[in-house]
């Protein structure tokens, strides 16, 4: 077996390739809304309640520099607003505007349609099984999901 065949036959390689394909389709579906995947992630967290930029970094996994750029873009598009904390001028709370809530709803619908199209080769029971299995793996290996302190693997 050639080395390229050895690597391309691994589950990890397939997951990596599928993630890239799914991500590209999601990004394309979000373009008409002037959003990217990371923007959608931030909007979704902020929609659940006003958060500071620091809280958003922690919850979304985005670094501070990227978060500032994302918030700047979302603010330019009218999707979020920044409000200074009355008790600490260094803190800014981010909240979703009405336009941002509408964009989020439309984006989530676009993501669902795109995911349905992407998963079309699978039957409904296979989709549910795939989601369940991927969730198990994610929970087992993401340190934020783990309740015990033993290393995964």
Give residue-wise pLDDT tens across range 10-61: 999 999 999 999 999 999 999 999 999 999 999 999 998 888 988 999 988 8
Output the CA angle 103-97-86, nearest 5 degrees. 150
Is 90 exceeded by the pLDDT of residue 92? no
The rounded distance, in Å, linking the Cα atoms of 49 and 150 is 33
Give residue-wise pLDDT tens across range 76-86: 999 999 998 88
Domains of the chain: 13-141 (1.10.10.10)
The residue among 30, 35, 55, 31 whose CA lies nearest residue 45 is 55
Quote the tokens at residue 142: 């993401």
**The pTM is what?**
0.80
């Amino acid at each position: 077996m050639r080395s390229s065949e050895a690597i391309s036959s691994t589950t990890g390689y397939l997951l990596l390739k599928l993630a890239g394909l799914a991500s590209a389709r999601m990004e394309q579906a979000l373009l008409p809304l002037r959003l990217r995947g990371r923007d959608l992630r931030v909007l979704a967290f902020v929609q659940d309640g006003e958060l500071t930029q620091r809280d958003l970094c922690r919850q979304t996994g985005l670094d501070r520099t990227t978060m500032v750029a994302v918030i700047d873009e979302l603010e330019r598009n009218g999707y979020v607003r920044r409000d200074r904390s009355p008790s600490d001028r260094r803190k800014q709370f981010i909240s979703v505007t009405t336009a941002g809530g509408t964009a989020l709803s439309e984006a989530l619908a676009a993501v669902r349609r795109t995911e349905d199209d992407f998963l079309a080769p699978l039957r409904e029971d296979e989709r549910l099984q795939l989601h369940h299995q991927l969730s198990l793996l994610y929970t087992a290996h993401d340190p934020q999901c783990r309740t015990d302190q033993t290393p995964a693997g």
